[in-house]
Amino acid sequence: ATRIYKAAIATRDIMIQLGIASDGGKDSLSMATKVNDKIIKSPGELTISAYAPVPDINKILTPDIKNPGKSNLWIINLGNKNYRMGGTALAQTFKQVGNESPDIENVEMLKNSFNAIQKMIDKNIILSGHDRSDGGLIITLLEMAFAGNVGFEIYHKNLDIDPISYYFNEELGLVVEVSLEKEKEFLNTIKHFKLSEITFKLGKTTKEQIVKISNNKEILLEEDMKKLRAMWEETSFELEKLQTNIKMAEQEKKNVYAQKEPKYNLTFIPKPTSEKILKKENKPKIAILREEGSNGDREMTSAFYQAGFEVWDITMTDLLKEKISLDDFRGLVFVGGFSYADVLGSAKGWASTIQFNKNLKKMFDDFYNRSDTFSFGVCNGCQLMAHLGWIPWQGINDKLQLNFTKNKSERFESRWTTIKILPSPSIMLKGMEGSVLGVWVAHGEGQISFSEKNILKKIKEKNLAPIVYIDDDGKETEKYPFNPNGSLFGITGLCSSDGRHLAMMPHPERTFLKWQWPWMPEEMKKNLKASPWLKMFQNAFYWCEKNNLNN
């Protein structure tokens, strides 16, 4: 109770000095619950969650070094001349706690540093940045290099503090990457916010993947970045062995050791949808269909709306109760999620609702057979389309239908992956052939299994597998984690022979806006006016306009 009180008082005092306030909260530290006559106490730690308005979500600062060989690394050392080791990760590895923990000595400098960073992000003065994190300055620098897949060289003249204390203390501080041509602006900003006395150049970034730290002529550390990254990731891999198929965990460790930056490629120029289309009165109608347990419908709705559609939110219950039919819709979308919690297997419960209801079966068959309609299924919706026999072609024998089985990793996979779009009849992928793009995946059962080899052969001959996972060399792959589920030849999307029906495991609707991409090459980020994935939704709109049978 004493510690809770002291933490609350300290929090109150610094908030007053910073000029900020708490607008609510709960004292979870003093809470407890009773289970089977036992008192379960809350954890002995204080966690504070904070939020703030962001004027421009496109202006963000990430830790990955972005311009190796043409930038320097600087530290804003808010710990000033303190190097307290209490509570550090290093101390804990030696089963110690320490005597003195870091603290905030100068609140005004903390406030000034925040304002300085905000201004420099707004003015594009700094390229990347990272707080002095768990592990201290050395880990901060290494994490920036790991994420950027580069190296750095730090050089000191007469370092007047023990290197262990200097590099492993966890005092407040920030490391930022500044390009050579922006250093004057950087220093002027630092001076304006009165931070000059605590801001120092640490060294330079390098394209060569070597980490080097020296003091005068003494080399404190010189090592291959990849080797250090493997050491840093070792704990995660040991945990993965307990959660994942061990063979896959070992494969990932091997495959990401010397991982390269993915080489995205665009065979078209992405453009925002014109205002003329967005303001049209008579738009093609599209039904975003969901079942109990579905999710992703909001993102899908937004993507098709931004392409010019009139979007309708439809549930299976609406169709079952005959509140609405599919007759007036040009497009039908099956969204991702976990229909019926996947207790019956991937989308089997959803498919059964359609297949074993006479009226629904006729409604869906009629929709599929109309020449002016298209359908799109993602993730759980992709699995559904396979169970319905809508892909790769209608009327495929039930025994020959494709199945989506458990990922080879034997766990749910949520990753940012790289795919390639191959030539196919798909109307939604028209003009995108040859493009290499990043996309989100989130599924537990995404491995396509073929009951007969002839089915796979026919699919490849007819170019009905337009989307494949690729490795960092741009090759179709079954290697984990580049291929998160283990599907043969990296196949992760299928379309019908006439191109009107497309199903895929990845989630383009979660990537149709530029800011939804967690990583994008700097040139691509700078030059693109819209996310490349928006084009597939626009393609659907143009196809509907072109094939409007009512005209």
The type of residue at 231 is M
Per annotation, catalytic residue among 143, 240, 413, 509: 509
Tell me the chain's radius of gyration from C-alpha atoms.
28
Phi, psi of 349 (to 5 degrees): -65, -40
As a whole number of angstroms, the distance between CA 137 and CA 134 comes to 9
Q: Which of 171, 379, 443, 495 is catalytic?
A: 379
DSSP E strand boundaries for 501-551: 501-504
CB 311 within 8 A of CB 277: no
Spot the catalytic one: 171, 382, 507, 544. Answer: 507
Neighbours of 52 (CB within 10 A): 5
Does residue 281 have an active-site annotation? no
CB burial of 66-97 (b: ≥16 within 10 Å; e: otherwise) equals bbbeebbbbbbbbbeeebbbeebebbeeeeee
Spatial CB neighbours of 205, under 8 Å, sequence gap ≥ 6: 65, 67, 68, 69, 70, 71, 72, 73, 145, 148, 150, 151, 152, 177
Residue 387 annotated among the catalytic residues of the structure: no
Amino acid found at 409: S
Closest by CA to 391, choosing from 380, 399, 406, 401, is: 401
Whether the Cβ atoms of residue 422 and residue 474 lie closer than 8 Å to each other: no
Q: Distance between CA atoms of 225 and 204, rounded to whole angstroms?
A: 15
Alpha-carbon distance of 367 to 327, in angstroms, equals 7
382 is catalytic: no
Active site residues per annotation: 379, 507, 509
